[in-house]
Amino acid sequence: MVQIQRHFEGGNAIFGPGCVLTGYFLNANVRVTIHLSVKADANSVLIHWRPSSVDRDPNAVRDTLKGFGPLRFFQRAASTFGSLSRRGYWSNVAGYYQPEHALAAVRHFSGIPQMEATLLYTAYFTVSKELADVVLLDVDDIISQTQHVDTAWDDRRQNVTMLRISGPNRETIVDLKRILEAIFSGKVASKTVEKKAGCEIWHDFFAGPQGDIWLQHLGRDTGLIIVSDRAQRRLRIYDPDPEAGDGDEQAHVVEMKLAEKVTELNLPREAHTISLDRNSLRKLISSDTVAKLQKLLGATNVSLDIVSKKLVLYCSRDAVWLATYQLDLPLPPPTAQKPPQACPVCSDITSEIQLSCGHVSCRECFDHQLNVASGDLSSHHFPVRCWHENCQHPLSILDLRRYAPGTMIDSLLKASLTYFIRSHPDEYRNCRKPDCASVYLRNGYHEIFTCPACLTQTCTLCHSATHVGWTCAQYQERVKKDEVNERLLDSYKASAGTKDCPKCGTLIEKIDGCNHMECSGCHAHVCWQCLKFFSRPDRCYDHMNLVHGGDGLEAEGDEEGEWSDDSEGTYVVAHISACLTFHEKAYPGGIQHTKEQGNAWPSTSFFLIVH
């Protein structure tokens, strides 16, 4: 039975015919391709302290760290992290085996004066030495553009290399991990039809030693590296010299050569059977005729069944005629032609899709049925079966690889895995981050789950944020109190007319005056109307006049009658930010220019009132 493997939702999933999940493995070290495995954790702590503080020598700090759990290592921090500490502080990194121990250490040291503790997020890439050499330039170029990230290459074994990236910012490590995974995964070879990616290119020929030799020759001719990923049944293309600039063009040439090879391997082979009597069979066995046939047609294209006394040749009719003529063998009877078949869905006569079960389907109905199965998680769609009413045979992986695009196959496999996970709610649960679909075991060995995709940490007992130092019940009670306090605070802010500073979150309140506010916490200059903040007051006033048509005093003055006049007329208010030259005779009503009390208005800002 042909199976296919994919790395989905933080684990390795194996699928059989009909896209049915046959195995799902969750572990810390996830294999992405046959040459790459990735691991991510948040088990390390970066600690800064003043050497002059009491009991803050390295040995004392290490002894304190051991109290939270077994240490993997305790060493001086890399120079990359030096900018994260203040001058005069010592820096060390402590690594634990479990994330709860690291979180407990961060919580402990964060409450001690003259000490700082930061959680570090780390991703490990274990790759073959050959692959590491190919992508080294690309990887180093990406890493060099990222700040506050410590990296190290480590040759663990003769043919295996490990890359470690570590940093205090979760988003930075997650983004860098995603980019490096794409580089290490390479380009999956696929047929291109009308500038759209079509079916992925694969044949079991590439899973054997002959296929490896053929790929090596093709790579030598094109200057690229082609790797056979047998587990995922994919061919991956790598460019060892990306700076040359011709990688995309050469990759297209490689894909064309691969597609031609697969077409040649998939040429239909007709089975021609020659029935033998006892004397003919005995004569055939005692001669070298079979060996000569294998040399002419290929060893795998000649089969001799002694029990049934039949010689079967797999080749074209012309090749059979030539071989039997040269070796003086009887010509087998012509192969019976199959009658035309109709698509079981639309009843049109077709031969576009020829399934291994012997039935056919038109391209439109085939694609439609796969789309329905990938979008509907109902149980009756898996396994995906032949649509002939008398068959119901699960679609083989080979049929899907031959006729369905790679993106469609992945959609089907993801839908099958999602259905499986939802069918086992007591065993599996998704990461608590809304846009992440990684999965963890609810009854696993560890209390804290660190998502291998987004590095979000979750308590596996109550599916909430980590709460080291509290039980799940205590934490839930605290959350409820916080929610009540938040509602009370929101109610107070609504009644008192206060808002949160958009920069630091400090409550600010407007009693009177214009819409320019200065936060007492961070001293940002805030527009009260839209809560946009600025570093200088004049920029805030420019924004209010440009975007909101004024500073808010105009509307306030209209309500109080400050600018009212019984006579009919038009009032034009403009904010002048430069020196104004005018002629008194041009405005008989005169010009008033007033300056608001205090330093709210720049010295060159005036109100122009035209009657």
Query: How many domains does the chain fold into?
Result: 4
Domain with 176 in it: what CATH number?
A: 3.30.70.330
No. of H helices and E strands in the chain?
15, 31
Summarised one tens digit per residue, pLDDT across range 455-485 is 999 988 888 888 888 888 888 887 777 777 7
- Residues 171, 216: one domain? no
Residue 200 C-beta-side C-alpha neighbours within 13 Å: 23
- Please tell me whether the peptide bond between 242 and the residue prior to it is cis, using omega within 30 degrees of 0: no
- Residues 40, 151: one domain? yes
SS in 3 state form for 527-551?
ECCCCCEECCHHHHHHHHHHHCCCC
pLDDT of 382 reads 84
**pTM for the full predicted model:** 0.68
**pLDDT interval class at 166 (50, 70, 90):** very high
- Residues 181, 193: one domain? no
Distance CA 583, CA 321 (A): 111
- Residues 43, 153: one domain? yes
CA–chain centroid gap for 185, Å, is 12
pLDDT of 173 reads 94
Which of these, 469, 522, 475, lies nearest to 500 by C-alpha position?
522
Strand partners, 518: 525
* Run of H or E residues at 312: strand 310-315
* Alpha-carbon separation of residue 62 from 45, 56, 74, 87, 89 (angstroms): 12, 10, 7, 22, 16
Question: Over pLDDT 70: what percentage of the chain?
Answer: 85
Helices 209-222 and 247-265, interaxial angle, to 10°? 150
Does the structure show a pLDDT above 60 at 599?
no
**221 is a domain residue:** yes
* Run of H or E residues at 303: strand 302-305
Helices (H), 266-377: 278-286, 289-297, 317-326, 363-375
- Compute the Cα dihedral for 457, 460, 464, 465 and give only its sign: negative
**310 is a domain residue:** yes
Name the residue with tokens 């044949």. 203
**315 is a domain residue:** yes
Q: Who's near 298: CB < 8 A, 6+ residues apart?
A: none
Mark which of 259, 289, 317 sits at the end of a domain.
259
Which of these, 53, 11, 49, 46, lies nearest to 32 by C-alpha position?
11
- Residues 310, 197: one domain? no
- Residues 165, 60: one domain? yes
Summarised one tens digit per residue, pLDDT across range 193-212 is 555 557 899 988 898 898 99
Q: Is 43 helix (H, G, I), strand (E, B) or coil?
A: strand
Judge residue 66's burial from the number of C-beta atoms within 10 Å of its C-beta, 0-12 exposed, 13-18 middle, 19 or more buried. Answer: middle
- Residues 129, 108: one domain? yes
Summarised one tens digit per residue, pLDDT across range 372-405 is 888 877 666 788 888 888 888 899 888 898 888 8
Summarised one tens digit per residue, pLDDT across range 74-109 is 998 887 776 666 667 788 899 999 999 999 999 998
- Kindly report which listed range (105-109, 290-294, 299-303, 408-412) carries the lowest average pLDDT score: 299-303
Does the structure show a pLDDT above 80 at 568?
no
* Run of H or E residues at 479: helix 472-496
**152 is a domain residue:** yes
Judge residue 278's burial from the number of C-beta atoms within 10 Å of its C-beta, 0-12 exposed, 13-18 middle, 19 or more buried. Answer: exposed
Does the structure show a pLDDT above 70 at 555?
no
Per the structure, the complete domain to which residue 116 belongs is given by 36-185
**571 is a domain residue:** yes
Tokens of 80: 């990359």
Strand partners, 75: 93
**162 is a domain residue:** yes
CB of 577 closer than 8 Å to CB of 602: yes
**361 is a domain residue:** no
- Residues 205, 161: one domain? no
- Residues 70, 115: one domain? yes
Tokens of 26: 């969750």
Domain with 303 in it: what CATH number?
A: 3.30.1370
Q: DSSP letter string over 140-202?
A: HHHHHT-SS-EEEEEEEETTEEEEEEEES-HHHHHHHHHHHHHHHH-EEPEEEETTEEEEEP-
Distance CA 84, CA 61 (A): 19
pLDDT of 73 reads 92
Mark which of 164, 185, 206 sits at the end of a domain.
185
List of E strands, 322-474:
353-354, 360-361, 428-430, 439-441, 448-450, 457-459
Which of these, 184, 200, 192, 194, lies nearest to 252 by C-alpha position?
192
- Residues 87, 112: one domain? yes
**225 is a domain residue:** yes
Distance CA 92, CA 69 (A): 17
392 versus 567: which is more confidently predicted?
392
Does the structure show a pLDDT above 70 at 570?
no
Mark which of 303, 326, 349 sits at the end of a domain.
326
CB of 237 closer than 8 Å to CB of 247: no
- Residues 285, 181: one domain? no
Mean pLDDT throughout 586-607?
Answer: 37
- Residues 175, 290: one domain? no
